[in-house]
Chains A and B, each alone.
Chain A
Amino acid sequence: MAYQADRSQYPSRRPDGSLDIDLSSGKYLKLWQGPQHPGITGNMSVELTVCGDEVVEGKTHVGYLHRGFEKLMERRTFIQCFPIVCRICVPEPDFNEYCYAAAVEELAGLEVPERADWIRTLILEMGRINSYLMYLGGQAGALGQGVIGQWTTYVRDLMLDRFEELSGARIYHMFIMPGGVRDGLPDGFDQRMEETLREIESTLADVKDVMFNNAVFKKRTVGLGYIDPAIVDQYGVTGPTARAAGVAKDVRRDQPYLVYPQLDFEPVVGQDSDVFTRADVRRRDLLMSVDLIRQILARIPRSGAVMAPLPNVLHWKIPFGETYIRGECSRGEYGYYLVTDGSGYPRRVNVRGPSYTHAMALLERLIVNCNISDVAALMVSLHTYPPEIER
């Protein structure tokens, strides 16, 4: 029988809509989850007010990772901005590079060679796989299944090796730059990639057996954190979180960019909109990325330029204009809003990360009436990365 909370103890609402919580009444307790807490995604914190072990109110606090990128970029030239943008989001940095490069190219009127577009798509899909593998480990870890994290981190390391031979770096690749990409694919890359993809597929089969067929995982996640499809647009929900609610939002298909129109894929959609479905949608999306990488490697042009000729980057001025570039990253819609004013520096850059809406307004809504022990699982299931909230 499901546990029924005693609703009579719940706080009433004041006329202005805020909760009437008297902490000294002894009924409520204030708990901070984070920033130093194993059950938190990255360096952020949630301020919970609990009654028994049920959450009555949750408030997200961010800003622990704020570096002021949008300010720093205003005092760097366009080419100097390119190496720092990837630092905005650690687990999937390539999206920053792509969105920034595409925004600069659009405003400067640069034509990117086709081969560079293919390589960019390849990099973005590889980054997506990395990010999902991290997520699967975190989601299982939040419910006590440490072994999934060990497996997925291992195969993620294999993918990082592929990144390393491509770009020379494991985490921050700085590979996609305005005008194209830095280099082509190394010799024998396809074969090693194929081995990595096979390893990932076999690990994912194990993950499916151990994680998704696990009774504890199912019991704790089915029905947890339900998102009504009707509020998806109101709360700016995008990506797999929206697709798990049955809303087939996928920028790769809705507004195709790079070479996605030439690839064969269909967005992965779920039905039940709970934590379990979100994990399942991401697992299937990961398999789709594996398939997309195979398609890309089969059709990628093997010769040709990878960089458009750039003007003298030390005196690179971009005319007045503003634009918005979006892409579908592993968490949802990632976008860059770039304003230029004719000088050699960006006038304003605004980064629209999907976590911005997921971790703030949406999480604060979902967390109410949740058990303390489920808070970590719920938070991980929204797949939030704090650095892209505060930049």
Chain B
Amino acid sequence: MKQELEKRWVKGPDGVDFEVEPLRDYYCEAPPTVMPAAYSKIIEGLFNWARAESLWILGFGTGCGAIEMRPLMTPRFDAYRYGIQWRPTPRQSNLFVISGYLSVKTLKRVIRSYEQMPNPKYVVGLGSCTINGGMYFDSYNTITRLDEYLPVDVYITGCMPRPEALLAGFEELKRIIRAGKGEGANQYAERFDWYKANQKRVIHDWDMPDYNW
């Protein structure tokens, strides 16, 4: 456990001592809940259409795939015309593109970022290394299957996938969302214990609450 996460007494700027227990005080530990569909099918269809047309990607380059994000943001491939844009913080985004291999250290940060994103949220696994390890199948520090740890909606194969492949993948994700099948966040809430157990089996120094948003 890190020093700053331990329970301790702190002297405030006004000279009063008070006790701090960071894991309890700074985080909310309530587990995620399943978000039900709207009361009417038509309304839900409208919602899904709106969700599909505004995919906001979290700007977190977790691996080498991040380098093909830059051409997508610029005039030549221009993903903005499809309603796709990049946001600097998890609070503003609903699509997490896992751009390539995930080392165990990054997986921990990815889980935290993912849990901070508001519902409904989607995950795209980019590159062969998210599917079965790809080139790093025998590495001691990279995970081999992303869907063990996060619910994945679309995989895009390749090492490295071209920007056109990414655009096709995003279009596929849009179809999935419009069909009402983009249920990743609900899946995560339903099978929360299973995902947590998988995550904790890999991340040995688990020094954060089980669900932190």
Contacts and interface: CB of A to CB of B under 8 A. Distances in A.
Direct A–B contact in complex, judged by CB atoms less than 8 Å apart: yes
Interface stretch (A96-104, A147-155, A306-314): A147-155
Interface string B53-71: 0000011111110111011
Contacts of A84: 135
Contact of B162 (A134, A137, A170): A170
Nearest to B159: A172
A157 B101 contact: no
Nearest to B14: A26
Interface residues of B, number: 39
Contact of A67 (B70, B90, B113, B141): B141
A52 interface: no
Contacts, number: 93
A87 B141 contact: no
Given A26-B13, A38-B59, A171-B160, A90 B106 contact: no
A46 to B, nearest CB: 14
Contacts of A30: 4
A87 B74 CA distance: 24
Contacts of B88: 37-38
Contact of B106 (A65, A91, A160): A65
A23 B13 CA distance: 11
A186 interface: no
A113 interface: no
Contacts of A90: 64, 66-67
A234 B74 CA distance: 40
Given A43-B62, A64-B105, A171-B67, 9 more contacts: A25-B13, A30-B4, A42-B61, A43-B66, A63-B103, A64-B109, A66-B105, A68-B139, A83-B135
Interface of A: 23-26, 30, 35-38, 42-43, 63-68, 71-72, 75, 83-84, 87, 90-91, 134, 137, 149-150, 153-154, 156-157, 160, 170-172, 387
Interface of B: 4, 10-13, 58-64, 66-68, 70-71, 73-76, 88, 90, 101, 103, 105-106, 109, 113, 135-136, 138-142, 159-160, 162
28 contacts: A24-B10, A35-B60, A35-B109, A36-B59, A36-B60, A36-B113, A43-B61, A43-B63, A43-B66, A63-B105, A64-B109, A66-B105, A67-B103, A68-B139, A72-B136, A72-B138, A72-B139, A83-B135, A84-B135, A87-B135, A90-B64, A91-B67, A137-B70, A157-B71, A157-B76, A170-B160, A170-B162, A387-B64
